A and B are shown apart, each in its own frame.
Chain A
Amino acid sequence: MESTIIKSRNFNASFGSNHVVRNVNIDIPRNQIVAVMGPSGCGKTTYLRCINRMHELIPGATSEGEMLLNDEDVYKMHPIFVRLKIGMVFQRPNPFPNLSIYDNVIAGYKLNGIKLPKAERDRIVEHSLTRVALWSEVRDSLNKKGSFLSGGQQQRLCIARAVAMEPEVILFDEPTSALDPISTSTVEELFHELKANYTLIVVTHNMQQAARVSDKTAFFFLGELVEYDETRTMFTNPKDNRTQNYITGRFS
C-alpha cells in the first residue's frame, strides 16, 4: 500500500478572475492528520473544497492541475464517486433537521436509495456513533430528531454521518470554530482515534489547534503553499519567514 493517499500537482483554483489557490504541490500521507492553516482569505478552505469537488458548485469557480486520489485524477472521475470516497465535515454542524439521529447517521445510504438489511444498518449506526464517542449518549434517543443535541454533539453526529460512508479521507473545514471549548476538545480527541482508519485533512484558523492535533502542517499564505512539514518542526523551526511571522502572531 502506498503511503501517499492524495497528491496535488500544480493545482490552481479561481473564482472567476480571482486566483485564490496558486500552484499547490503537496503529498498527503495515509492515516495521518494534516492541518492546513493560514490567515483568512489565504485559500485554505478553497483548496480543501477542491479535494472533494465542492468548489465547482459555485458559479464561476474553476480549477486546473492534478488532484490525485490513490494516483487517479479526481477531476477525471464523476464527482459523486469522489464524494463517496472523500467525506466532509463543515464549519457549522448541519445534521438534516427532518431526520432522526439514526437516519442522519445512515443518511448517505438512505438518501442515496441504497437498501441495506436492518441488521447491517443497525451495525453501521452503532459503529459510527461509537467511533465518534456519541453512542452511549444517544443510544436511547436514536429515533428523536437531533435538534436537542448540543453544538458539539451535533458536530460529532455530522462526523459519524461521514464516517458511516467508510471513506478513505475525511475533510474538516474549521470543524470546531462554531463550538465551545469543551466540545472543541472532545472533537479534537476524536481526531486521534479516527486517524487509525481514515486520513484527516483539517483546515483551521486556530494555529494552536493545528499544533495540538496534527502530524503534518501546511501553511497557506495568499493562495500559495508556503511551507509543509512535520508539525513539530514547523512550529519550532519554521523555514520560511512568512511562516515564522504567522506563528509568532505578526499577522493572523
Chain B
Amino acid sequence: MQAKSVKYRLGKSYGFQLLTYLLAFAIVVPLLAILFYIVRAGITKINWHFLVNIPKPVGESGGGIANAIVGSIIIILVAAVIAVPIGIMAGIYLSENRKSKLAYWVRLSTDILQGVPSIVIGIIAYFWLVKPLRGFSALSGSAALAIMMLPIIVRSTEETLRLLPDSLKEAALALGMPFHRVIFKVIVPVGIGGILSGVMLSIARITGETAPLLFTAFGNPYLSVNIAKPMQSLPLLIFNYATSPYTDWLNLAWGASLILLVWVLFLNILTKLLTRKWKVQL
C-alpha cells in the first residue's frame, strides 16, 4: 500500500515536471515563427536601392525607406538629448536623498510614469507641443519618447549610484571637495557603466515604439531633417504601410520590419554585453 502510493506520487511529480517543461519551451515556438517569418519576408526586399530611396507614390514600384531610417535616427537622438541629462540628474538626486519626503514623491512619480500607456503619452505630447506649435513635428515625437525614456534612466542611475560604497564619497569629501565635484569627478565616473547601460536600455525600448508618434511626428512621405516638421520613422511607416492594401507598400513594410527588428535586437544585445562587461546590476 505504501509503495503504491509513493510510486503514484512520484509519477505525479514527474508528470508535472514534464508539463512544466513543455509549456515553458512552448513559448519559443511563436517567437521563432515570428522571427523566421520576418526574416524571410523582409530579406528579399532589402538592397542598397531600398535603403537610400524614399517611398514611391502608389502604383509605382520600387522606392525605399530612407526617410524612415533617417527619421528614426533623428527622432531617437533628439529624444535622448532631452531625456539623458534630466534622467541622470534626477537619478543622482534620488540616490543622494534616500529618505526625504520630496524624494519619496519623485520616486513614486517615476514609478507611475513607467506604467503610463504609450498612447496616452502621445496624447499628452499632442496637447503640450503639437497644438501650441500648430503642427505635427519630429520634436513633439521626440518629447513623447523622452518622457518614456525618463523612468528607465532615472531608476538605473539611482540603482547604480546606490550600490557604490559610501567610503568613496567620504574620501572625496574629506579632501575638501565640494559636493558637485564629488558627484561629477568621483561618483559618476565610477558608476558610468551602470548609467550608460540604463541609457542604452531606454533607447532600445523606445526604438520600436509607434503609438507615441502617431499624432506627434505623424509621418512624412519625404525625407526631412527638420525637427519642426512632421517626420517619418520606421515603426510609423510599418504601421501605415502594413495596414494599406497596396502590394508595393506591403513590401516596403516587410523590409522595414526586418530592419527595425535587427536594429532593436542589436541594441538589446549591446546593452546585455555592456551590462555584463561592467558587471552592473540593473
Task: Give residues in A with beta carbon < 8 Å to B.
Answer: 52, 54, 57, 59, 80-84, 87-88, 90, 92, 94-98, 107-108, 111-113, 158, 161-162, 165
Give the shortest distance, in Å, between B173 (CB) and chain A (any CB): 7
In the complex, what's the smallest C-beta–C-beta distance from A58 to chain B, in angstroms? 10
A87 touches B175 (CB 8 A): yes
CB proximity of A182 to chain B, nearest CB, Å: 23
Task: Report the minimal beta-carbon distance from A70 to chain B, rounded to whole angstroms.
Answer: 17
B190 at the interface (CB under 8 A from A): yes
The interface residues of chain B lying within 8 Å CB-to-CB of A97 are: 168, 190
B167 and A92 within 8 A (CB): yes
Task: Among B99, B165, B181, point to the contact of A112 (Cβ < 8 A).
Answer: B181
Give the CA-CA distance A211 to B178 in the complex, in Å.
37
How many residues of B sit at the interface, in one of the four size bands?
Answer: 10 to 19
Measured between C-beta atoms, what is the minimum distance from B181 to chain A in Å?
6
Q: Return 30 A-B CB contacts under 8 Å, by A number.
A: A52-B174, A54-B173, A54-B174, A57-B173, A80-B176, A80-B178, A83-B174, A87-B174, A87-B175, A88-B174, A90-B171, A90-B174, A92-B167, A94-B168, A96-B168, A96-B171, A96-B172, A96-B190, A97-B168, A97-B190, A98-B189, A98-B190, A107-B172, A107-B175, A108-B177, A111-B172, A111-B185, A111-B186, A112-B176, A112-B177
Query: Inside 8 A of A162's CB, which chain B residues have their CB?
Result: 174-175
Q: Is the interface of B mostly helix, strand, loop or mixed?
A: helix
The CA of A59 and the CA of B165, in the complex, are separated in Å by 17
Q: Per a CB cutoff under 8 Å, which of B99, B167, B181, B189 touches A94?
A: B167
Residues of B within 8 A of A57 (CB): 170, 173
Please state if A96 and B181 are interface contacts (CB–CB under 8 Å): no
Find chain A residues with CB under 8 A from B174 CB: 52, 54, 83, 87-88, 90, 162
Quote the shortest CB–CB distance from A96 to chain B (angstroms). Answer: 6
With both beta carbons as reference points, the residue of chain B lying nearest to A59 in the complex is identified as B99
> B175 contacts A165, CB within 8 Å?
yes
Task: Output the nearest chain B residue to A167 by Cβ-Cβ distance.
Answer: B176
Residues of A within 8 A of B185 (CB): 111
Interface residues, chain B, CB within 8 Å of chain A? 99, 165, 167-168, 170-178, 181, 185-186, 189-190
Task: Evaluate whether A83 and B175 lie within 8 angstroms (CB atoms) in the complex, with A98-B190, A111-B186, A113-B181 already known.
Answer: yes
Shortest distance from the beta carbon of A142 to any chain B beta carbon, whole Å = 19
Which residue of A is nearest B182, CB measured? A111
For the A-B complex with A54-B170, A90-B170, A92-B167 known, give 16 more contacts whose Cβ atoms are closer than 8 Å: A57-B170, A57-B173, A80-B176, A83-B174, A83-B176, A90-B167, A90-B171, A96-B168, A96-B171, A96-B172, A97-B168, A107-B175, A108-B176, A108-B177, A111-B177, A112-B176
Most A C-beta atoms less than 10 A away, residue of B99, B185, B189: B185
In chain B, what residue has the closest Cβ to A58?
B166
Q: For the complex formed, measure the closest distance between the CB of B244 and the CB atoms of chain A, giving whole angstroms.
A: 53
Q: Which residue of B lies closest to A113 (CB)?
A: B181
Shortest Cβ-Cβ A-B pairs, 10 listed: A83-B176, A88-B174, A108-B175, A84-B176, A94-B167, A111-B185, A94-B171, A98-B189, A80-B176, A98-B190
Cα separation A68 to B171 with both chains bound (whole Å): 23
State whether A83 and B181 are in contact (beta carbons under 8 Å apart), knowing that A96-B168, A97-B190 are contacts in the complex: no
Contact in complex: A161, B168 (CB < 8 Å): no
Residues of A within 8 A of B189 (CB): 98
In the complex, how many angstroms separate the beta carbon of B162 from the nearest chain A beta carbon? 15
Assembly CA distance A112 to B179 (angstroms): 10
B181-A111 in contact (CB<8A): yes
**Chain B residues closer than 8 Å to A81, beta-carbon distance:** 176
Please give me the residue from chain B that is nearest to A110 by CB atom.
Answer: B185
List chain B residues, Cβ under 8 A from A96: 168, 171-172, 186, 190
